[in-house]
Amino acid sequence: MYISLKPWAIEDATTLTTYFNNVNIWNNLRDYIPHPYTTEDAIKFINGQLELAPTQNFAILNEQEIVGGIGIVLQEDVYKMNVELSYWVAEPFWGTGIATIAVGLMTAYIFDTFAINRIVAEVFEYNKSSMKVLEKNGYHLECVRRKGILKNDILVDDYVWVNQKVY
């Protein structure tokens, strides 16, 4: 299995739309991502990414096929030494190790590319697989914000995982 990351391109809009319309993917995403997700939503997202340098969001490829996405949100103000990491893998590829490899690639890219010292990833309490992915990549559980997330009208715990440079 050869996993790589590539910047999103306009021709990826249909694939992104298809994957984001899977409710099992959407249940692990923030609510600012529309559901249903339209091709127009995908094009708007991709066009916004094309303006960013260095690249902040990537498609995850298994060989040449898009199987997920991974990216960061740069933090501001007193949190400017942090980025928030998020990622998803299309349901047909769950449990294959793709996310673990992609998070490893992205973690190295982040520390090599951005002037930050912490990568933070928040995981909904029911996404145990994602927590294992982070742990395998050297992230540690920093805290649990009890009932800190409202998703689908249900309060759930927010697990905060961190990977930090050691000085």
Per-residue pLDDT tens for 89-145?
Answer: 999 999 999 999 999 999 999 999 999 999 999 999 999 999 999 999 999 999 999
Predicted confidence (pLDDT) per residue in 32-87, tens digit:
999 999 999 999 999 999 999 999 999 999 999 999 999 999 999 999 999 999 99
**What pLDDT score was predicted for residue 167?**
62
Buried b (16+ CB within 10 A) or exposed e, 89-113: bbeebeeeebbbbbbebbbebbbee
**What pLDDT score was predicted for residue 113?**
97
pTM: 0.95
Q: Where are the domains of the chain?
A: 3-164
**What pLDDT score was predicted for residue 1?**
82
Residue 4: band (very low, low, confident or very high) from pLDDT cuts 50, 70, 90: very high
Tell which CATH architecture fits domain 3-164: 3-Layer(aba) Sandwich (3.40)
